[in-house]
Amino acid sequence: MTNDLIEKADRVMAATYSRFPILLTHGDGCTLYDANGRTYTDFVAGIAVCNLGHAHPGIAQAIADQARRLVHVSNLYYTGPQTSLAEWLVEHSFAGRVFFCNSGAEANEAAIKLSRKYFKDRGSPERFRIITMEGSFHGRTMATLSATGQAKIQKGFEPLVDGFEIVPFNDLEAVRDAITGETCAVMLEPIQGEGGVRCHAPGYLKGLRELCDQEGLLLIFDEVQTGMGRTGRLFAYEHFSMTPDIMTLAKALANGLPMGAMLAKEEVAASFTPGSHASTFGGTPLVAAAALRVVKVLVEEGVLRNCERVGRYFRDRLLDLKSKHAFIREVRGKGLLLGLDLACDGTSIVKACMERGFLINCTRDHILRFIPPLIIREAQIDSLIACLDSVFEEMAADNSSFA
């Protein structure tokens, strides 16, 4: 069955993914099962999506209950779940208003459009350029890949959309030097996820806030990966004693159902008026009901506290590995967004861990990224650390260049 389905998928689906040869059938918490009955402890969580794990009973119930009542009617009408979710997000963030969509790329598109519209409404149509960072990842639509600071994402899709200035990561003076009379905003991730789990230097984000205030620019935080509890706070900006003007969310917002959101301060959001932007499926009753259950579980059932506590434990165990294996250059991240920077290719390590029953991720070829469900426990982390230690020992023994 597994091989037949894999062959069929490879025949009929666009070849945009290099998939691992396993057929996953169901999950429970932090555990996934394949068609052959093998189990895997999940440290990928659907790429930082399933923050509450798989088959969460409360979310499943919320989806089932809402599916029996109302799935979709479009945004021509009001619905209760969408309104309740928007109210919750506003009450728990800096924002005054929310726009719902279906993905992180769409949320970032909305942020880009809103930034331009905000300045046009204020009589400055020449201000349309947005400064972004090398190593960033903002999506794969034409505008968001143009904003992304990775050449490999952009390759083959030139000419790119005009309006983006990409500057070196973690360099406040480079941002200052890039500002012109055409600049409208600065957009960045509080922690670069796809870019290698790279954190900004102390004071950098606060310095950006001050710079944007001085120059009259909007500050946009892409929290598609860092938001919804991933760093131990509901939103990563809460770690830095400052707020952006616009924030984008997606991934974990509905724990696996496709949902994105753009949040903005009231005066900025006012530039979105009827007809200026839209989404047919944005914030349907079904996904909004699921997301409303997600956010309540995050803050009411101790998930954020678990992420913060277990994240510290996980980081300490990764540091133990670093002290033992010289090819580990750095341990990065915050909460349960963690990475190991290796002086070697990490793709074979991902495969070796999968064969031992652990799903992990590698980005930029040499960064092992760990983004498990926020309900992960210390015992599961201990098991992964033992697995990694064993894999590292075996690979070092087999390849002297690895050590």
Return the structure tokens found at 124. Answer: 């400055």
CA angle 385, 51, 225 (to 5 degrees): 90
Question: How many CA atoms are closer than 13 Å to the CA of 119, on its beta-carbon side?
Answer: 20
Residues contacting 114, CB < 8 A, separation 6+ = 99, 246, 262, 264, 268, 269, 271, 272, 277
Buried b (16+ CB within 10 A) or exposed e, 195-213: bbbbbbeeebbebbbebbe
The catalytically annotated residue of 43, 100, 137, 240 is 137
Q: How far apart (Å, rounded) are the C-alpha atoms in residues 241 and 207?
A: 11
The catalytically annotated residue of 117, 251, 265, 334 is 251
Q: Is 94 in the active site?
A: no
The catalytically annotated residue of 42, 222, 245, 341 is 222
Tally Cβ neighbours within 10 Å of residue 51.
28
Tally Cβ neighbours within 10 Å of residue 399.
11
Q: How far apart (Å, rounded) are the C-alpha atoms in residues 221 and 193?
A: 13
Q: Dump the DSSP string for 319-359.
A: HHHHHH-TTEEEEEEETTEEEEEESS--HHHHHHHHHTTEE
Q: How far apart (Å, rounded) are the C-alpha atoms in residues 239 and 227?
A: 12
Q: Dump the DSSP string for 99-121.
A: EEESSHHHHHHHHHHHHHHHHHH
Q: Residue 189, SS3?
A: coil
> What sections of 17-103 are H helices per DSSP?
45-48, 57-69, 80-91
Q: Is 222 in the active site?
A: yes
Q: Is 334 in the active site?
A: no
Q: How far apart (Å, rounded) are the C-alpha atoms in residues 7 and 19?
A: 12
What φ, ψ does residue 128 adopt, rounded to 5°?
Answer: -135, -10
Residues with active-site annotation:
137, 222, 251
